[in-house]
Amino acid sequence: MLGDDQADALTRIAVSGRMLDVLVGPAGAGKTTAMNALRRAWEAQHGSGSVVGLAPSAVAAQVLADDLGIATENTAKWWQNHLIHGTAFEAGQLVIIDEASLAGTLSLDRITHLAQDAGAKVLLVGDYAQLQSVDAGGAFAMIARDRADTPELVDVHRFTHAWEKTASLELRHGRTAAIDTYLAHQRIADGDAEAMTDAAYNAWRADRDAGLVSVLIAETHDDVTALNGRARADLILNKTLNPDREVELRDGTAAGVGDTIITRLNKRELRTLVGRDWVRNGDIWTVTAVGDDGTITIARDYGTGTTVGDDGTIKARRRGRRFGGSIVLPASYVAEHVDLGYAVTAYRAQGITTDSAHVLVEPTSTRETFYVAMTRGRHANHAYVTLDRADDHAQLHPGDDPHATARSVLYGVLQHSGAELSAHETIVAEQEQWGSIAQLAAEYETIAAAAQHDRWAALIRCSGLSDEQAESAIESEAFGPLAAELRRAEANHHNLDALLPRLVAARGFDDADDIAAVLHYRVERATGRPAGSGRTRKPTRLIAGLIP
């Protein structure tokens, strides 16, 4: 059954008359359910096969194919097929591009242009608040923000606890009140890096031992590698894995029979015997046999642990498919494109749903990575915040903060958006910044300060200060603000040649740490109002009421 928000969004998409539509939905809002309903309705109108699926990655395309039961492809391969084989769209087709926030702008532009020429309709599905493309991107977010009627799903269905639905949406928008909600429900721990790594790993392992599907997410590849090595070492210690026959992987770790691995490069020629499954970048597999003497034996794997030749290759079965076909990975592929798959980064985690998630949070994390990581688990999502790492978001010269807390670190994370603007939005933002009143006023003030420096320096030297005091004031960092205040006083029609000596003589400077700062205070107090009164008062000499 569709929710009201899903039905309303799909209705607006289906009858909008636009060639390009977008569907925005936060994590767990039922985008897949909505797309399935739209597919059925579209095919009822335009016939079987009238819906085409695309996604930025091969793994996402396969997920889309499994969810919707339609032919899918990743965008790069589809474009290659178009160039080589002439693959094209047809009039009346609906082209669904899932995870569109991860798609590069050039890729989207090419595909939508061809769809427009063919008379097809394109639907971009995704969430601008989640992770962005590694290529030049931002197009999905630009379109979603530019339209006043962008269809957006609002009801989150993923989470078991009602409070987590609301809290996840607050994270999505960077609202810091969510931090207290997660703290109140004991979902956040903090401490030094070693303690937090231990806590996250032990909690993840406890969930796995209890039979839950759990994901362990870290910010950096170094942390992921360390956690993977630790997980494998524990499996060897408890006799789950036998380390007698193993091969070295890309990141310096090793894998043997029973290990969980991730393949990092699309390789379509590495297929099962029936040819339906092939090796994708980001696929997670279970190792069923390891060879070391150069021979290869290929057989379908029915979960019996069939052996293969000893040639330095891995024979893998996709995780979760008890009777999945076997694929042999050549030794060269294993050495260059395979990692252990116990821990992952947020980029690898986007798009998956688990029972629980355990997230290592660094001060350098962005809002988008934190939001994605904290919305993977249906039943529980836990954050382990590292306090003894540098935060180069907030400090010019990063260093350890002895006063850091989980709340202060997460506040900084939610304030730091890593979302990329589109090229068009970047141009507009730069034009607005450099042509703004604030920028022009700052430039004007800088020019005026340089032009009148000698004049104000001469005034200070003649104000009654000793030579040493005058030079100290002129060399002070507070001289710039003092000069600006003198300009404002003059704009208020005060006679500074007469006023400044009186302010200097009013009280000595023996106890002053900074003479220029003291003079700035006295001038500001004495010249807050324009000179004169009644009919003799003259209007302030300010440009646009802002600057002298």
Confidence of residue 533 (pLDDT cuts 50, 70, 90): low
- Listed residue (306, 304, 329, 303) closest to 316, CA to CA: 329
User: Distance between alpha carbon 133 and the CA centroid of its chain, in Å?
Assistant: 10
Model pLDDT, residue 180: 95
- Listed residue (119, 78, 80) closest to 97, CA to CA: 78
Which pTM value belongs to this model? 0.75
Model pLDDT, residue 470: 92
* Secondary structure (3-state) at 223: helix
Proportion of the chain above pLDDT 90, given as a percent = 47
Return phi, psi of residue 526, to 5°: -80, -20
Q: Which residue has the higher pLDDT, 285 or 431?
A: 431
Query: What is the C-alpha R_g of the chain?
Result: 32
Write the pLDDT tens digit of every residue in 113-142. 999 999 999 999 999 888 877 777 788 989
- Highest mean pLDDT out of 13-27, 230-244, 403-417: 13-27
Model pLDDT, residue 227: 93
Amino acid at position 129, single letter: A
Report angle CA 409, 412, 416 to the nearest 5 degrees. 140
Model pLDDT, residue 272: 76
Model pLDDT, residue 534: 63
| Neighbouring C-alpha atoms within 13 Å toward the C-beta of 352 | 20
d(CA 69, CA 56): 18
Mean pLDDT of all residues in the chain? Answer: 85
Task: Return the number of other C-beta atoms located less than 10 Å from residue 207's C-beta.
Answer: 23
d(CA 387, CA 368): 20
pLDDT reading at 311 higher than 60: no
Measure Cα distances from 256 to 144, 148, 222, 490, 491 in Å. 46, 54, 21, 81, 80
